[in-house]
Structure formats: C-alpha cells, structure tokens
Amino acid sequence: MALKSKIEELQKRKEEVLQGGGEQANAKQAAMGKLTARERVIALLDEDSFHEYDLFVEHEARDFGMDNKVLHGDGVVIGTGSVYGAPVAVFAQDFTVAGGSLGMMHARKITKIMDYALRMRIPLIGINDSGGARIQEGVNSLAGYGEIFWRNTLSSGIIPQISVILGPCAGGAVYSPALTDFVFVVDKISKMFITGPEVIKSVLGEEISQEELGGARVHAEITGNAHFFAESEIECFEQIKKLITFIPWNNSRKARRFEPKEPKPEYNISNIVPNDAKQPYDVRDVIKALADDSDFFEIQELWAANIVIGFGRLNGETVGFVANQPLVMAGVLDVDSSDKAARFIRYCDAFNIPLCTLVDLPGYLPGIDQEHAGVIRHGAKLLYAYSEASVPKMTVILRKAYGGGYIAMSSRHLRADFVFAWPGAEIAVMGPEGAANIIFRKEITEAANPDEMRRKKVEEYKEKFANPYVAASKGYIDTVIEPKETRKQLLHALEVSSTKIADRPAKKHGIPPF
Ligand code: HXC
C-alpha cells in the first residue's frame, strides 16, 4: 500500500473512533445537557494542547454478545495536555460508548495514564461519567477498579489527583474519586452513590430519586464528598483551572509563584472584627484583607461552613488558609469541621504549601449528638494534622481562643512557627461567663444579689484572663500586633520560613485517627 493510502487509512480509522458511540448516543448525551468526553477534555485543557493516546484500544470481551460489538476506544479517552502551561494527564469516560462502563481494557487505559502521571510527576485529572463495572466483563471489571484504587493510593501525596463527576458514578466506582484530593461536581449532572435508587427500592422499599440520593448538592452540602460545586460544566472547568494555578505539579516542587499584589482597599482589616466577642462577622473578609489581590479560592464552601479553608497568596506564594467562621455556629469545631480542616492541612503539608490559621472560636461543640457522632475521634484528626504538618505554620488569634479550640487551631504547642494575637484576643480555658459560674459558684449563690455578683465576677475574670497578655507573658504568643500590621508580619514570617527544616523521628507512618 502506498504511503498516501496508509495515511488515508489512519485518517479513516481515527474519524471512526472520534465519533465515540455514534450520532444517536452523542445526541442523547447533548440532550442531557452534557458534553462528550473529548469535548470536555478540549474545553478543560489549553488550546491545541491535548494529545490523545490509545485511540485504537478495543475490548477483549467475548461473552454475552460482546464478541462482535465495537466499542470505540473502549469507552474512555486518555491523554496529556496542559492547563495554563502546567502539564497534566487526563482520562475522561465516554458515556456514549457502552455507558462509559468499565471493562478490562477501559481500566487498562486509565491505569496506563495514571502510571504515566506518577512517573512524570504531573497532576492527574479524571472525568467520571459511567454506568460502573461493565456487567458483561464480570470479575475483570472489578479487577480494573481494584487496580485504579491501588494507584490512587500509591500516588496520594506525590501528584495532585483531581476527580470530576460529570454523570453517574455509582457502586464501587465512587471510591476512586473518594481516594483523590479534590472532587468537582456540577448541578443536575453529577450523581454519586454506592447503591442506586433501584436497589434501595427493592431492599428497603423506599422511593428516592438519583438527585436526592447523591446529586451534586448532596455531596457539596451534606456529605462533604465534593470540594467544588458548579452550575455548569464550563464553570466547573474554570474552577479546575484556577485550582491548578494554586498547587504544585508534584510534592517535590512549590506552587507557581505569581506577581505579588496588595489586597484590595475595600477590605479594611481594622474594621472587620467586632469588639464584642459575641458579634458575628465573615472571616473570609479577613482573609481577603490579607491575601494578594484579595483573591481567596475557597474549598468545600457549602459544607461544614463553621470552618473556612482554601488557597490564597501572600507575596505571590500559595498559602493554605484555615479559619474559624464566626458567622456559622460561632465558628465552633465539630465532627465535620474537624474532618474538613484536617484533610486540607494534610494536603497543604504534602504539597509544600505553608499554612496560615486564623483563630476565633468558642471551642468544640458540646452535646450528645456530637459526642455520639465521635467528636473525640474526629476532633483528634485536627490535632494530628497540625502536629504532623512540617510546612511553615503561621497563626493569628483574632479574638476568642477558648479551651481545646485554642490548642487545636495551630497553637504554639502543636508547633506553629509564628503565633500572633490581636489586642482583642481572649485566650482562656473557657468563655468568661462559663468560667465565672464555675469558679465563683459559691460567692454567686450566697450573694445578696446573685446576678450582680455574677456580672462582677465575669468582669473580674475577663480582666484577668480574657486578653492576649497572659499567653504572651509565657511566650506562647510571639507578639501582640495591631490588625493593620498582620499582613506585614505574615509576609516576613513566610520569608523567614522558606528554608524551614522540621526534623521528625523516622517511622514508617503514623496512625492518624482516621
Ligand atoms: C454494561 C452498561 C452499564 C454497565 C450502562 N450500560 N451501564 N453496560 N455495564 N454497568 C450501557 C447500557 O446497556 C446502554 O447500552 C448504554 O450503556 C447507556 O445506558 P442507558 O441505561 O441507556 O443510559 P441511561 O438511561 O442514561 O442510564 C444510565 C444508568 C444505567 C443509570 C447508569 O445505565 C444503569 O443503571 N446502569 C447500570 C448501573 C450499574 O448497576 N452498574 C454496576 C454497578 S456495580 P446500549 O447498548 O443500550 O446503548 C459496580 C461495582 C464496582 O460498579 C465495584 C468496584 C469495587
């Protein structure tokens, strides 16, 4: 065959594969408001950067009528490209081909690109849109999932792993996203659950829709499985691109440095936190008053909103912010907020991202619900994560820091490198009211006017302990600063810690309270 006709053959073969599941299946995908696998990859990556591999892979199944079925690319698209110039490896399940179901060769394509990403130390982005294990391929598809989970775990903490749920992700398939660092969902498109509505109906006799069971909102607001929620696929891709700008390619690098920019003047740090310790405010305004260009990229915004986590930059360098949110439940720590912050701290630590913690909380949430939900175990994750983290750790106590909350929120005792407190900081075992009621109980009950006596004792306690100076006198706080000095102090702290070495005794690994 002449070269020309060989090239024509290649072009013809390519054309066929690029149709995916064909016109009808593509139209069905579009009718569901979904892009096709290749459209998604192209929309996500830099223009003309996508290089696809394994186009001509075919399945090898022979049972249940599979022997004469053609499944283009075996229902998954893999390749490499870039996002704002950062190299990335990608796979995107193609729902138009056998419902994106995962057979043996489909899994091999995914594991091939996962191995590639790990070997090249570049981020992996997986777009999930699949009916799950390919039923006709039996144990081979289960083996495929196992191979994926193993690689997710192996790569964890070495390369960033990002999961995008753009269709069904059901049964055991959910565990690959759950093992990755960030999960993105899109309203009305993402569906994630272990057992679907049909199984629930047959086992429990309950009717429930896919949306109610595991739609995007469920995972963004209730379960915390999703880290980012978008209204459309295109918005979701913008979020992924933004995330990539904040994180390094792998754990041996730093995130890309940007041109430093001062925060926007509308965020005046001296006017955000009210004097009265009971008055709420939005701690995100404090972060925006500190971060370069007031740019704060929040993670898990809709879940456990009593703690705020996300990325910003200080002097051009990515920093992970962790802050109690007095606007929601006074910023208390509970089961979910401890989980949320602990995982983020471990992410930042694994990827060389310094931590900046803003403290204003009344402590851990009391009550039988929390105790029985395991607040001891979950709360311990936060202590573990901060203690273990060896990246530079900077803490600013804005206002209240009571009890266990004071210790847990990156205190000196858990080896924060720099601890600053504002003049209005109150550092004590508990709030003045509770404290006075306990330690002056006798005086209060025996007084001619107990209310008057309580007020007096509360004031006495406040005067003595509810300030930053007792902690500062012991060196637990490095310096008490005015709010307006905070950014300058943080920039200096960051500069001084750029060569930080935190020695730890050698061990295989610790046993965190998972
Ligand atoms: C083989 C599958 C498939 C599967 C879908 N298809 N899921 N083929 N194995 N798991 C095929 C359909 O037969 C159909 O093929 C095409 O994909 C499109 O599917 P539709 O049903 O027409 O699409 P839709 O109506 O949108 O419904 C989507 C769906 C449904 C809700 C995902 O297909 C579904 O319920 N699929 C089965 C889900 C499931 O139970 N999976 C196994 C989970 S167990 P044709 O040829 O007609 O176009 C599991 C265990 C993993 O995953 C354990 C790992 C540890």
Q: Say yes or no: 41 and 179 in one domain.
A: yes
Task: Give, using CA atoms, the residue closest to atom 54 of ligand 1.
Answer: 172
Phi and psi for 466 in degrees, rounded to 5? Answer: -80, 65
Cα gap 344→330, rounded to integer Å: 21
Long-range contacts of 460-467 (CB under 8 A, 24+ apart): 460/436, 461/428, 461/432, 461/435, 461/436, 462/426, 462/432, 465/426, 465/427, 465/428, 465/432, 465/435, 466/426, 466/427, 466/428, 466/432, 467/425, 467/426, 467/427
Task: Give, using CA atoms, the residue closest to atom 16 of ligand 1.
Answer: 99
Structural domain contains residue 251: no
Return the ligand 1 atom nearest residue 99 CA: 17
Structural domain contains residue 135: yes
Structural domain contains residue 510: no
Query: Per-residue DSSP letters for 369-422?
Result: HHHHTTHHHHHHHHHHHHHH--S-EEEEEEEEEEHHHHHHTT-GGGT-SEEEE-
Q: Say yes or no: 66 and 51 in one domain.
A: yes
For ligand 1, the distance from its centroid to the CA atom of residue 78, given in whole angstroms, is: 21
Phi and psi for 188 in degrees, rounded to 5? Answer: 70, -10
Q: Say yes or no: 166 and 22 in one domain.
A: yes
For ligand 1, the distance from its centroid to the CA atom of residue 131, given in whole angstroms, is: 4
Structural domain contains residue 285: yes
Cα gap 421→138, rounded to integer Å: 60
Binding pocket residue ranges, ligand 1, CB within 6 Å: 98-99, 101, 131-135, 142, 145, 168, 170-173
- DSSP-derived secondary structure letter, 499: G
Structural domain contains residue 394: yes
Q: Say yes or no: 331 and 442 in one domain.
A: no
For ligand 1, the distance from its centroid to the CA atom of residue 44, given in whole angstroms, is: 26
Task: Give, using CA atoms, the residue closest to atom 3 of ligand 1.
Answer: 131
Residues in Cβ contact with 448 at an 8 Å cutoff, skipping those fewer than 6 apart = none
Q: Say yes or no: 273 and 409 in one domain.
A: yes
Q: Say yes or no: 239 and 307 in one domain.
A: no
Q: Domain total for the chain?
A: 3
Q: Which of 28, 36, 135, 147 to mutate to test the pocket of ligand 1 (most atoms within 8 A of CB)?
A: 135
Q: Strand, helix or coil at 465?
A: helix
DSSP H helices, 247-328, are 283-290
Cα gap 398→390, rounded to integer Å: 23
Q: Say yes or no: 69 and 115 in one domain.
A: yes
Task: Give, using CA atoms, the residue closest to atom 37 of ligand 1.
Answer: 131
Return the ligand 1 atom nearest residue 168 CA: 32
What is the pLDDT tens value at each position of the chain, 514 positions in all? 788 899 999 999 999 999 999 999 999 999 999 999 999 999 999 999 999 999 999 999 898 989 889 999 999 999 999 999 999 999 999 999 999 999 999 999 999 999 999 999 999 999 999 999 999 999 999 999 999 999 999 999 999 999 999 999 998 899 999 999 999 999 999 999 998 899 899 999 999 999 999 999 999 999 999 999 999 999 999 999 999 999 999 999 999 999 999 999 999 999 999 999 899 999 999 999 999 999 999 999 999 999 999 999 999 999 999 999 999 999 999 999 999 999 999 999 999 999 999 999 999 999 999 999 999 999 999 999 999 999 999 999 999 999 999 999 999 999 999 999 999 999 988 888 888 888 899 989 899 999 999 999 888 888 888 899 999 999 999 999 999 999 999 999 999 999 999 989 999 999 999 9
Q: Say yes or no: 75 and 113 in one domain.
A: yes
CB 132 within 8 A of CB 97: no
**Which two tokens mark 514?**
């998972």
Task: Give, using CA atoms, the residue closest to atom 51 of ligand 1.
Answer: 172
Return the ligand 1 atom nearest residue 100 CA: 17
| pLDDT value for 265 | 97
Structural domain contains residue 347: yes
Domain membership of residue 482 as a residue range: 269-429+467-496
For ligand 1, the distance from its centroid to the CA atom of residue 99, given in whole angstroms, is: 6
Long-range contacts of 27-33 (CB under 8 A, 24+ apart): 28/96, 29/95, 29/96, 32/167, 32/189, 33/188, 33/189
For ligand 1, the distance from its centroid to the CA atom of residue 130, given in whole angstroms, is: 7
Structural domain contains residue 514: no
Q: Say yes or no: 226 and 282 in one domain.
A: no
Beta strand ranges found along 422-480 (DSSP E): 426-428, 479-480
For ligand 1, the distance from its centroid to the CA atom of residue 153, given in whole angstroms, is: 26
Q: Say yes or no: 309 and 354 in one domain.
A: yes
Q: Which of 471, 467, 352, 353 is nearest to 407 (CA)?
A: 471
Q: Which of 31, 21, 118 is nearest to 70 (CA)?
A: 21
Q: Pick from 231, 246, 261: which residue ends a domain?
A: 246
For ligand 1, the distance from its centroid to the CA atom of residue 95, given in whole angstroms, is: 9
For ligand 1, the distance from its centroid to the CA atom of residue 135, given in whole angstroms, is: 8
**Which two tokens mark 270?**
């001296």
Q: Say yes or no: 394 and 377 in one domain.
A: yes
Return the ligand 1 atom nearest residue 167 CA: 32
Q: Which of 70, 72, 101 to mutate to test the pocket of ligand 1 (most atoms within 8 A of CB)?
A: 101
Q: Say yes or no: 172 and 150 in one domain.
A: yes
What CATH number does residue 326 fall under? 3.90.226.10
CB 215 within 8 A of CB 169: no
Give helix 335-350 / helix 375-388 axis angle, nearest 10°. 20
Return the ligand 1 atom nearest residue 146 CA: 55
Structural domain contains residue 506: no
Task: Give, using CA atoms, the residue closest to atom 31 of ligand 1.
Answer: 131
For ligand 1, the distance from its centroid to the CA atom of residue 25, given in whole angstroms, is: 14
